[in-house]
Structure 1
Amino acid sequence: MSTPTGTIASQLASSGHGFDTNRGDFDILNAALRATGLDAALADPAASLTLLAPTDAAFISLARSLGFTGRGEQGAFDAIVSALTGLAPDGNPIPLLTNVLLYHVVPEALGKGAVGSRTEVPTLLDGATLRPFAGALQDGDPDAADARLVGPTIRTGNGNILAINEVLLPIDLPGNSDGLPTPPSIAGIVAASGTGFDSDVTDFDVLLRAVQDAGLTSALSDPTADLTVLAPTDAAFVELARAFGFTGSDEAAAYDAIVATLTSLAPDGNPIPLLTQVLTYHVVPERLDIAQLQAEGSVATLNGASFVVRGGTVVDAEPGLRDPRFVPGGTDIEASNGAVQAIDRVLLPLDLDLAGLGLGGSIADQLAASGIGFDGNRQDFDILNAALGAAGLTATLDDTALDLTLFAPTDEAFIRLARDLGFRGRGEQGAFDAIVTALTGLSPDGNPIPLLTEILTYHVASGTLTAAAIAASQSVTTLSGEAIAPFGQQLIDLDPSLPNARIIANRADLPAANGVVQAIDRVLLPLDVPQVGPGTTLPTIAGRLEASGEGFDSNRHDFDLLNAALGLTSLDAALSDATASLTLLAPTDAAFIRLAQRLGYVGADEAGAFGAIAQALTGLGGGDPLPLLTDILSYHVLDGRFSRQQLREEGSAETLLGPELAFNGNRIRDEEPGYIVRFEGGGNVLASNGAIQAIDNVLLPLNLDVI
């Protein structure tokens, strides 16, 4: 592994020796640096800098916004110099040009990811900073399009070069405009939801009304403000109302239910101070995009309290309700005075203690709402109620002094179990009888109740566990004494042959006075229950990979190259070991092709990419590619089975190679700073000896300066 050589200045000089027709290099930047003498500063080998380098196309774009009508690089440079000459008090453009160029130099060596995750980036121009937001760099000119980073990080011996697609301007340059309209204020974005409550639960009608009632409209309209609002959708407010005992779906009625609850909580019966406290807990006193919120971790609000951002989840102060998540497609909405980030639940700055408030019924009450007997509705809990009654467990779930989580199989879940045990009907009564008969046969004394009790207590855990908390846990101990192993949305029980249960997404986190109910689509089993008909046995990790195919093909989303690489090492045997517990971070064929292309390969087929990687590792490994290939592959194997949620929650995990990998949201950080690795696809592919998580780039345990 070699150290980057040369300087920023020498790397720029390799762009060419003068103006040409290539708009993607840095001829105009070179000319500007020479004219100001700043090329010498970028040639200093002792420096540590980052140059945000506008391409020739960026300078031509600036020249055209200033009135230039041509396309040539020389003409664009002359037009910019002429404009700066007109702005200079003494007619000398060099001081202004120098300031513009200094505004492109960061006084430390940063990569693309580091720049984007910061809320402010200093420059060599005294007091002038850049503000990253959603992939753009906001400069001092409010009328022009913001620059974006383009291309890879170019590393040199005295810092980095990051190409950008627009020239950064430290001042509002007269006559320079991209013609785009100014975005509305935060209040304007919320108000665009409409004039009143409606049936669209994805907009912000309830938030708009709440902001108006709390008198916060002017604060969110203030043009001098700089804020980020985490904006609950109407669906989020309806879910909060339901936590307070509301049973409908109407927006107006949901808002009234929330106000009524806040009124009952207020010492003087005035809900507005509490409403204001809740709303200001959604306001951050600076503009932040999603990446910056995730980098901050703990985020202070105008309320004075903080929340914590973990990946796509926002953790508030109420442990009894599911934490909000960012709404896909509703984030990084830029406003004239900040940003809006849509969320799917309301943030709460305090623990409401739903049980102590007497809001909602007990878990038993929630189940009883299912009805009083078997019926034709397969999505409620009639069979569960019957089983709890037979086992004498209803009183436990009715005890409001307890704090419990119930994994509640629907009637459809019990019917699925009955059919696995040989039942051929569809009725709830018949399914319940079939299960009791099977348990009677499995019991040594012919009494099904102890075994039924064991199964039911395997569905109850201590504490209020949200669906997000469950997914992030490696193990949930139940009242039966046995544990459930969450894996993504699956709940892995002790029966290896039947499909695993899943929490039903739209029926998660049903609050009760003594805990929470999580509806599930299969019955959890604390033992290997014999069933009629063939069971399903999960393949090993190696078996899962082999299903990818027999060799190289045109499908870029499977694992042909990974299979080939594993076959050259001893790791395929480790991934076939049925007694192991591992997680394979599996690069797709597209990931290996990307690595090959970064190493100089110019094709796109799998066989050629594999050969190119092998050749590169041969050179790096002193003639033998296998030790380095084995290290790279071992760096993709984690000790233990992990879901994506668990890895995000843990933040890091040890590899078989030894070094740890860091996990932040969907990103995985390795030792190669040249590119980003992310989880790909649905993920959480379960194997008998662990799990497979597909990734979009190859993880590298070393910094390859050629990337």
Structure 2
Amino acid sequence: MKKVSFKLMMILLMGVFVMASCSEDDDDNNDVMPEESNTIVDVAAGNPDFSILVQALQSTGLDDALANESGSFTVFAPTNAAFASLLSELGVSSLDDIPSEILTSVLLYHVLDGEAPASSVETGYYSTLSEGPQEGYNLSIYINMDDVMINNRASIVDTDVMADNGVIHVIDKVIMPMSITGHAVANEGFSSLAAAVTKANLADALDSDEVTYTVFAPVNSAFDDLFANLGVTLDDLTADDLTPILLYHVVDGFVPAADVASGYVPTLSAAQGRQASLQITVGDGVALNSTSNVVVTDVVATNGIIHAIDEVVTPPSVVDIALDNGEFSTLVDALVKADLVETLSGDGPFTVFAPTNAAFDDLFADLGVAGIDDIDVATLTDVLLAHVVSGNVASTDLTNGSVPTLNAQKSIDINVDSGVVIDGQINVVLADVQGTNGIVHVIDEVIVP
């Protein structure tokens, strides 16, 4: 045999060594441990002061959701002491005494979608993961960063405990889903509203989960302006004074901002045995009766939804209905010229068939005049009084026949076979706008005696 050279032997030995090393590396790679999970649930489980929170999450099955590494959450985490305080407040001995669906709602009320470190949280309303009274709209919490409190109940005592799937802020009380009344009380910006609601004995009604309301809630400065205009304070007003005003801000049902449309809606404020109408105008923003603006939308409560407004609106007379709607500006000018504003602001009740601006424009064209200024007061008065019927007559109470007006020389012929038609050609295009002293039906032509 030929001798193997020293150089060749060394090459062979090096090859064996490299192969062995690669084999060892493969074995080492196979033994690599997976990265340790550090989700919100993991963080909570690793802190003994969150043991009751973890127990609650496990009992409701929410632990899996908050352990989802692909999710992103902000959790306001109550301490054990916070839960102990809640149990004492509810008069129960353990979490087992709280129905699972209620506990689930409460826990989700502490969770926001997305990661919100303390530096990004500002004073305002935030939507939680707890379901509201209508699908797609979750319950709101109010965070006041001046006091560092949530719902004026829980203080944020520690912030920015980071996890792989979000952030935890520690709180010292369990926050509970709130009704409309609860939200009014929790936000200092609604303190005047809360005081008025209490004085009018409406707090329980707006706290009930048996009904659902939409509330246009005036901020404190709105009440300040109202009281200044009236020359009174809240102490000067009785429950009877406040009730019709407050209920005029409440609409039956759940109406989020996305569903608000221009037109008249009935409120809970009683007027002439019916419900006083509120005018809503949707443009660049949302205005009520052309004067009050919606400044915050979609605060979701357990029994409805709140939109904040910057001016208190009051139930309107038939004259106010005309004043508040730009489509009646010519009618208003005519009433002023004929000196009928005070008359139609009286007790009534009146039924007013109100011509639009376009209806007056057609009349002016037919008469060959430029406008109201070209019509003498006596003629104008006769025309306007022909649009007014005594009584509060809703469209459903109208019947075929002749009806006397406040113009003694003019009766109008009503036909309700197909809509409401006056004198054979004038159409009611919008009916039943209810005021405090009467009702308005909008017509497309001027009634000429």
Normalising TM by the smaller chain, what interval? Answer: 0.3 to 0.5
TM-score, with length taken from structure 1: 0.25
More strand by share: 2
Relative contact order, higher structure (CA 8 A, sep 6+):
2
